[in-house]
Amino acid sequence: MSDADDFRDLIRRIRAGDNEAAAVLVRRYEPLIRRQVRLRLEDERLERLFDSMDVCQSVLASFFIRSAVGEYDLEEPQQLVGLLVKMARNKLASAARRATRQRRDHRRQKGEGEFANIAASDPTPSEQVAGQELLERARQRLSAEELEIADLRAQNLSWDDVAARLGGNANARRMQLARAVERLATELGLDDDSDG
């Protein structure tokens, strides 16, 4: 199997909720995400509120839930790297803006920021995926039609194929799922200004 085929198989397995695939992705890409965050986390005061692992866990949780419902069309590892880097930058910038907007005195904070609960004793994203908890919570919040779209996308059907099976056009079905994912991200506390 070629590297491209191996990568597409990994993404297909993640969409299907495969625990081993999620663990592989975390092992491969967590160092990259954390490095990107550390490079961007220049303000020592913000480092007291959250660290690279906090942001990384938030990125991975968002990625897994959005992947599981078929939001991303990833064909090669470089696309995934670009997406994860963009998500990390967006989450970090969003958290920094929020901290600044609230005019917090960073010197007096004790690590209670946007990511404080993520780094607590809660399960890591890989543990959440392994237990299917996060995915099940997301699936329960989808309407029957949204769930059908997500299931078809999890089977690697193109948007044209999804539209052919359910009616409508490909772009409308893609937008329908995108809106559902945004709603889920907000409801599940994975939302930032823009994940990717």
Which pLDDT band, with edges at 50, 70 and 90, does 103 fall under? low
pLDDT score of 168: 92
Share of the chain above pLDDT 90, in %: 17
pLDDT digits (tens, 9 = 90+) for 123-147: 455 454 444 666 777 788 889 999 8
Residues 58-73: what's their mean pLDDT?
Answer: 85
pLDDT digits (tens, 9 = 90+) for 151-196: 888 787 889 999 999 999 999 998 998 898 888 878 877 665 445 5
Which pLDDT band, with edges at 50, 70 and 90, does 114 fall under? very low
Residue 68 has pLDDT above 60, yes or no: yes
Which pLDDT band, with edges at 50, 70 and 90, does 78 fall under? very high
Residues 9-37: what's their mean pLDDT?
Answer: 87
pLDDT score of 81: 92
pLDDT score of 20: 87
pLDDT score of 165: 94
Residue 15 has pLDDT above 80, yes or no: yes
pLDDT score of 102: 61
Calculate the average pLDDT of the chain: 77
pLDDT score of 13: 87
**If DSSP states are collapsed to H, E and C, what string results for the chain?**
CCHHHHHHHHHHHHHCCCHHHHHHHHHHHHHHHHHHHHHHCCCHHHHCCCCHHHHHHHHHHHHHHHHHCCCCCCCCHHHHHHHHHHHHHHHHHHHHHHHHHCCCCHHHCCCCCCCCCCCCCCCCHHHHHHHCHHHHHHHHHCCHHHHHHHHHHHCCCCHHHHHHHHCCCHHHHHHHHHHHHHHHHHHCCCCCCCCC
pLDDT digits (tens, 9 = 90+) for 41-61: 766 666 666 677 778 888 888
